[in-house]
Amino acid sequence: MHNIGSPFSHLGSFFAYQLPSEKRLNDQIERYSPDQQIMAIDYHDNPLLDNLATAIMLVDANLRIQYLNSAAEMLLELSGTRALGLSVDQLLMENGKPLAEMTQTLQTRMPYTKRQVTLALSSGQSISVDYTVTPVQLHSADYLLLEFQPLDRLMKISREASIINTQETSRAVIRGLAHEIKNPLGGLRGAAQLLAKELPNPGLKDYTDIIIAEADRLRNLVDRLLGPHKLPENKPVSIHEVLERVISLIYAETAGRINFVRDYDPSIPDLTGDMGKLIQAILNIVRNAMQAFKDNAVFTPEIRLQTRILRQFTLGDQRHRLVCRVDIVDNGPGIPPAILQNVFFPMVSGRAEGTGLGLSIAQSIVNQHRGLIECLSQPGETRFTIYLPLESTDEQH
C-alpha cells in the first residue's frame, strides 16, 4: 500500500462545487433516501465524469455507493442506478475480504493507492486493477472517492495494438508477393493461349488447358489472400439485422440442425458500415463453427449470439465513445492451442481441407470498419468477439 496522492485527487473539489442539475429526475430517484437523492441530483448523467476513461466511484461514510461514472459501470458490469445505495462489499472483494482500509481512511483522512490488486466482482468475474482511495467532504459530510485503473484492459489494448500492427505488416507483405506472382501468371496464361492456337495436334491442347486453369486458380487464390480490396459502401446498418441474415443462411445450409441462442441488446443504435461485407465477415466466423461441429460430430451444436454496447472503449490507439460488441460463442471442440494465436493469418487452418482464408477475410472486413476481432477458445467453448465503433469517422473528429 502506498500513501501517495492520486493524479485525479482534484475531482474531490469538482464534486464539492458541482451545482445541482435542473433536469427532471426519473422515478427511481424518488425511492432513494434524502442523502442519495442529493447525490443523484448533483451527479446524474454528468457528461464530464462520464467521459473519463478512469472508473470513478463515490461512497459515503457507511461505505455505500452514491455515484458511478460510465467507466465504473463497465468495470463493475452494473448500472449506476442499480448500484446506488449498495455497500462496496456487495460489489467488490479483495482477496476474498472486504476493502478494510476504507474505514481507516475515513478516520485518518489519508489517501492511499494499491497496485496490481485482484478484485472479485459480484458477477463472479475477477479483475486486476490499480486503485486509489481519497477522502473528500461534500455537503458537510465525509465521503470516499475511489478511482480504478483496470490493468487487464491496458494489457488488452497493448495486445490489440500489436495485433493490428502485425496484421497490417502481414497484409503489406502479401500485397507485395501478390504483385510479384500475378504479373508472371498473366504472362504464363497468355503464352499458353498463344501456344494452344499453334499446336499441330488438337490432342495436345489438353496440356495448355491445364496450364491456363492452374494459372487462373493461382490468380484467384492470390486475390483471396489479398482479402476485400473494395472500400465499404457505408450506410446505416442494424447489427441485429446482419445477425439474423447470417442465422437464416446457416439455418438453410444445415436444415436447422444448429441451435441458435439470441441475447441481443435492443438499445444498440445503427452503425455505419457495409451490410454485405459485415454479413460475409460474421458468416465466415459462424461457418467456421459449423465446420467444427461437422468434423467432430457434436451432438447438440449450439451457437450463442450476444450483443452489448461499450462506452469510452479503446481499440488499438483510438478511443471511441460508443462501441458495439458482438460475441459469437459455440460449444464445439475448440481451436488447437498451436494455431490459436495465428488463427486470423492467411493459410492458417485446423482442418486438412481448410483454406485458412475465412477468418483472415473476416478480420480484414472488420478492420475496414475500424474494428477488431478477438478469439478465445477452450474445449467446449470458442468465443469470437467483434468490436465495431458506432460513431462515424466524421463524428470522431
pLDDT in tens, 2-33: 444 444 445 555 554 443 333 333 444 344 44
Of 166-170, 183-187, 202-206, which range is least confident? 166-170
Per-residue pLDDT, averaged over 333-341, amounts to 86
pLDDT at 342 over 90: no
**CA nearest to 245, candidates 275, 267, 266:** 275
Q: What is the per-residue pLDDT for 162?
A: 67
Does a structural domain hold residue 117? yes
Residues 136 and 29 in one domain: yes
Report which of residues 246 and 103 the model is more confident about.
246
Distance CA 82, CA 90 (A): 12
Q: What is the per-residue pLDDT for 155?
A: 64
CATH code for the domain in which residue 387 is found: 3.30.565.10
Q: What is the per-residue pLDDT for 159?
A: 65
Residues 146 and 236 in one domain: no
| pLDDT band at residue 350 using 50, 70 and 90 as cut-offs | low
Residues 237 and 136 in one domain: no
Out of 152, 169, 201, a domain closes at 152
* Cβ(55)–Cβ(65) below 8 Å: no
Taking only the tens place, the pLDDT of each residue in 258-297 is: 999 999 999 999 999 999 999 999 999 999 888 888 777 7
Does a structural domain hold residue 45? yes
Burial class (CB in 10 A: 0-12, 13-18, 19+), 140: exposed
| pLDDT band at residue 354 using 50, 70 and 90 as cut-offs | low
Q: What is the per-residue pLDDT for 26?
A: 41
**CA nearest to 40, candidates 135, 139, 129, 168:** 139
For residue 92, give the C-alpha cell. Answer: 467488490
The number of folded domains in the chain is 2
Does a structural domain hold residue 173? no
For residue 79, give its domain range: 11-152
Residues 89 and 234 in one domain: no
Residues 290 and 376 in one domain: yes
Q: What is the per-residue pLDDT for 218?
A: 80
What letters, b where the CB count within 10 A reaches 16 and e where it falls short, cover 203-217?
A: eeeeebeebbeebee
pLDDT at 186 over 60: yes
* Cβ(52)–Cβ(71) below 8 Å: yes
Residues 234 and 363 in one domain: yes
Does a structural domain hold residue 61? yes
Residues 107 and 20 in one domain: yes
Distance CA 87, CA 270 (A): 37
Residues 255 and 388 in one domain: yes
pLDDT at 387 over 70: yes
Does a structural domain hold residue 215? no
Does a structural domain hold residue 380? yes
pLDDT at 301 over 60: yes
Out of 124, 152, 180, a domain closes at 152
Residues 145 and 289 in one domain: no
Mean pLDDT of the chain: 79
Residues 141 and 28 in one domain: yes
Share of the chain above pLDDT 90, in %: 24
Residues 236 and 383 in one domain: yes
For residue 241, give the C-alpha cell. Answer: 439485422
CATH code for the domain in which residue 96 is found: 3.30.450.20
Report which of residues 226 and 364 the model is more confident about.
364
**Angle CA 288–292–293, to nearest 5:** 120
Out of 122, 152, 182, a domain closes at 152
Does a structural domain hold residue 276? yes
pLDDT at 397 over 80: no
Does a structural domain hold residue 15? yes
Ramachandran quadrant class, 115 (left: phi over 0; alpha: psi -120 to 50; beta: rest): beta
Distance CA 70, CA 68 (A): 7
Per-residue pLDDT, averaged over 66-86, amounts to 85
Q: What is the per-residue pLDDT for 269?
A: 94
Residues 117 and 241 in one domain: no
Per-residue pLDDT, averaged over 48-71, amounts to 87
Q: What is the per-residue pLDDT for 228?
A: 62
Per-residue pLDDT, averaged over 115-144, amounts to 84
Of 178-192, 313-327, 362-376, which range is least confident? 178-192
Per-residue pLDDT, averaged over 108-133, amounts to 84
Q: Under 8 Å CB-to-CB from 55, ≥6 apart: which residues?
A: 68, 69, 71, 72, 74, 75, 76, 147, 148, 149, 150
